[in-house]
Structure 1
């Protein structure tokens, strides 16, 4: 149905762009909020009592729906919209993107010497039909000293990273073990992405 491998990617993440390019998928960026004065497109605050899985499914479904609305509003060609969301879970609690360096420091201290889970959900929307896949990966950190945390935060852009770290960056030296999808922790699990794309006729090895 979409044999030219063309889709929209509704994400500002450069990592997701790199991962799509890695598997040869052509995409157009579909950026949502264009000005700071506009209201946010998707409210990503967790609802009281909402489980991490329910939360991430809700957010991805909302992002896909908003993406399709933008296509219609801007009179763009109708193509599939790929969206994604990544969260870090520690003791059942969602660690989102830190608002400041203090929050980032507290997150890294909490993750130090322990295992945590990284959930990444991807959604592929075609008009009002949305298919979602979820990956869960366990990551174990070694003990991190306060000195290391301070040096890491001083030299890295951590504010747009769930859990205040990126696996493909300097934080890789903290990771003792990973069980699951490396690309999922980066923000776009390629196995599941390829599955969704192939279901609509976009073959990776066509």
Structure 2
């Protein structure tokens, strides 16, 4: 099976690599529209599907059956959707909001299956939710973490797989989902040939 990953995320690449799943990274022309959906679950599923359907595939994709994987991750705290911070102050505000409480990390995944003619055979669209509990954080804790630069390209302004692990008291659910792709679920769906 040929798999195309419609994502520029190095974390998603690393997760697929860890499981030994062969894939090729491709660009997607999809433009995100965060304000369109009330439900965070519907939002990430639609964003993931949009990314997968708008993937720019290489010419060799024609003539071979293939699957395109799209994904989108957001953080949800008390109904408030948190994407990536726009600046340092935004990162500090997000971390302050999450401190001493729990939030959900929600990743939408779309697997679009194509035949050798490039016709869409079917798609599997789903989301995975993980609860993440943060320690109480002082202003100094937040300042020090933001100063590392790590929060700037991450939903919720932290990376659990890096220095952000220091902020996390515990999780309920998939760890890889918090990193950016619930790779254990994706691998099983790919193995099952889930349509």
Q: TM-score, normalised by structure 1?
A: 0.84
Q: Distance in 2 between matches of 1:184 and 1:43?
A: 20
Structure 1 gaps of 5+ residues are 34-40, 202-206
Please give the alpha-carbon distance, in whole angstroms, between the structure 2 residues aligned to 1:87 and 1:43: 12
The corresponding residue for 1:75 is: 59
**Aligned-pair CA distance for 1:80:** 0.9
The match for 2:136 is 143
Q: Secondary structure at the match of 1:159?
A: helix
Distance 2:106 2:32 in 1: 18
Encode CA deviations 1:83-119: one digit per residue, 9 max, x unaligned: 1111100001100111111111100000000010110
Matched residue SS, 1:158: helix
Q: CA deviation at 1:191?
A: 2.0
Structure 2 unaligned spans of 5+: 115-119
Pair 1:30-2:35 in alignment: no
- The answer as to 2:73 corresponding to 1:66 is no
Q: What is the TM-score when the length of structure 2 is the normalising length? A: 0.89
State the alpha-carbon separation in 2 of the partners of residues 195 and 133 from structure 1.
13
Specify the alignment match of 1:55 in structure 2. 43
Once the 2 structures are TM-superposed, how far is the Cα of residue 61 of structure 1 from its aligned partner?
A: 1.2
Query: Aligned match of 2:99 in 94, 101, 112?
Result: 112
Paired residue for 2:117? none
1:184 alignment partner, SS class: helix
Calculate the aligned-residue CA RMSD, in Å: 1.6
Alpha-carbon shift at residue 11 of structure 1 (Å): 0.9
What secondary structure, in the 3-state scheme, does the structure 2 residue paired with 1:12 have?
coil
C-alpha distance in 2, partners of 1:171/1:44?
27
